[in-house]
Structure 1
Amino acid sequence: MAEFPIGDVVDAHVHLMPERLMAAIREALSDAAGWEFNHPTDRDEMEAALTTAGVEQYTALPYVARSGAAADLNEWVIEATADSDHAVPFATVHAADDVEAVVTDAFDAGACGLKLQLPVQGFGADDPRLGPAYEVVAARDAPVVLHAGTAPMFTDSPHVGVERFESFLASYPDIRVCVAHMGTYEIEAFLNLARDNDNVFLDTTFAMSSVAKTYMDFDPTTVSDDTLAELSTSIMYGSDYPNIPYPYAREREHLLSRDLSVEVQRDIFSRTAQRFLGND
């Protein structure tokens, strides 16, 4: 098993949600892609597995598919992570909610960022209804994680893609925003946005795993070592744990097999996430 070469590794894309909601998400993924899951969903068991794998800190990302559910879920995540030494709790919101109130309440209670799963939630990053939520995020100098790309099963969704993201970025050019899954399948366009915008980040989740070809029909070697080195201060490690249909080691082993300097590895596995979170 490939081991992390540095300490204080951050996994910038982990999902922590109530058991019933997690089971529903897994059932939907199984129905859509035939995936099977055997990683634990209990927080203590998740953290034990992550720390055994070398992860010292992780973002706890929730999301909801319907309006009216975000406030309760945010409260659950914040309470579930209150005594954790490892979790950084995020909040979520639905565009049909009172978004300003939901996000403000979550941040006041301890949330550190905002997560939107756009194709599942059914709206784009530039949906004008989200404006008040982004204003709260900007005022708190907090980060946002967006599933803004078309992978792994959203190529026909009108809510994702680089054009919708660019529209968001034009309105909120100063918010630190992470595009999940390296922006696949429009990865080159998203890489260029990261080159041109210091506030745009990408996470490696799923796309840079050693089994990406099998599970999302993407070849991670199309992203060169030079590109990873060039953008190491904008690219951060993430896993989608525990909702991955393969062993956790698969998420990191391809990245660790690359010819990357220790400094680049430190960026990707730790420092870039800290910068994204505002801890630099």
Structure 2
Amino acid sequence: MPDRLMAAIREALGEAAGWAFDHPTDRDRMEAALSAAGVERYAALPYAARPGTAADLNEWVIEAAADSEMAVPFATVHAADDDPGTVVADAFDAGARGLKLQLPVQGFAADDPRLDPVYEAVAARDAPVLLHAGTAPMFEDSPHVGVERFESFLASYPDVRVCAAHMGTYEVEAFVDLARDHDSVFLDTTFAMSSVAETYMDFDPATVADETLIELSASIMYGSDYPNIPYPYAREREHLLSRDLPVEVQRDIFSRTARRFLDGD
């Protein structure tokens, strides 16, 4: 994201959670670190905290990703934008591969009716949506998140591929059940399945059984909030790698599920 926005996000997270960040934010150094860790592709996930800013942010992200062999640009939108459907449609036409909404920070829910033209644009292009739909790490009092609001969205758009970030924490079991019952529902491991999740978000990744990861490996994909994580990047994946998971399950979680989420096949 643009330097000023990245700095603002880090400042807000630092004030809210007491976290500090030392990972690089310029693209060359970020991509060098990711490549050294074995990453081939990563999703660039912007979000607009205020109405009227999404279109310019989308343009910046898409242009910044255009000459990268690693970046997969997503778009964002704000429910209070004048014409949110057009904002998203224009971003897809310019090269965005999906949509990211950071619901509790942006201040609206997944089932906000103002987003209907957005989801229609998404469905028309068979594109995926990534939502911060759960209450972790600091949004348990937010009216915009939780499994009920996510289920309401799902009832209206059952065929849109949608990922609940952070395994849906802190309502993991409920979100896992939705992934079990709906081929269109995905989960990502970001933060929640890190080896330091108990320290930073009061969640024990061991409560997600190996059997769950095996059963739903086609619906669960590895993710991270890199570079905005307050711990070494290796911590994001070392817990998953320490489990005795079949190789085919690891291939799903670390590669194939993300491809299915992006492309629908």
Structure 1 segments of 4+ aligned residues over 2 angstroms from their partners: none
Provide the residue aligned with 2:171 in structure 1. 186
Confirm or deny that 1:110 pairs with 2:95: yes
Distance 2:28 2:126 in 1: 29
| Contact 2:62-2:94 within 8 A present in 1 as well | yes
Aligned 1:162-177 pairs, distance under 5 A: 162-177=147-162
> Deviation at 1:100?
1.0
Question: Secondary structure of the equivalent of 1:55?
Answer: coil
Contact 2:41-2:72 within 8 A present in 1 as well: yes
For 1:3, the equivalent position in structure 2 comes to: none
Amino acid across the alignment from 1:270? S
State how far apart, in whole Å, the 2-side matches of 1:101 and 1:190 are. 30
In 2, the alpha carbon distance for the partners of 1:260 and 1:19 equals: 39
Alpha-carbon distance between aligned partners in 2 of 1:51 and 1:122, rounded to the nearest angstrom? 34
Please name the residue that 2:32 is paired with.
Answer: 48
Is 2:248 the counterpart of 1:263?
yes
Deviations 1:76-101 (A, max 9, x none): 00000001111110000000111111
Q: TM-score, normalised by structure 1?
A: 0.94
Could you tell me which amino acid in structure 2 is paired with residue 58 of structure 1?
A: Y
Is contact 2:196-2:235 (8 Å) kept?
yes
User: Offset at 1:279?
Assistant: 6.1
Any gaps of 5 or more consecutive residues in structure 1?
Answer: 1-16
Alpha-carbon distance between aligned partners in 1 of 2:89 and 2:151, rounded to the nearest angstrom = 25
SS class of match (1:85): coil
Q: Name the structure, 1 or 2, with higher relative contact order (CA <8 Å, separation 6+).
A: 1
Unaligned runs of 5+ in 2: none
* 1:272 matches 2:257: yes
Report the secondary structure of 1:56's partner residue.
coil
CA positional deviation for 1:64: 1.0
Equivalent in the alignment of 1:10:
none
**Alignment partner of 2:41: what SS?**
strand
Structure 1 position 231, deviation (Å) = 0.5
Answer yes or no: is 1:148 the counterpart of 2:133: yes
Take 2:73 and 2:22, find their aligned partners in 1: how far apart are those partners? 23
Whether 1:135 aligns to 2:113 is no
Task: Please tell me whether the aligned partners of residues 166 and 192 of structure 2 are also in contact (alpha carbons under 8 angstroms).
Answer: yes
Q: CA deviation at 1:118?
A: 0.1
Q: Which residue among 108, 115, 118 is the counterpart of 1:123?
A: 108
Q: 2:52 aligns with which of 68, 73, 89?
A: 68
DSSP-derived class of the 1:107 partner: helix
Please, what is the CA RMSD of the aligned residues? 0.6
Q: Which of 208, 222, 225 does residue 223 from structure 1 map onto?
A: 208
CA contact 2:73–2:96 (8 Å) conserved in 1:
yes
State the alpha-carbon separation in 2 of the partners of residues 72 and 182 from structure 1.
30
Separation of aligned partners in 1, 2:40 and 2:258: 12
Distance, in Å, in 1 between the alignment partners of 2:238 and 2:264 is 27
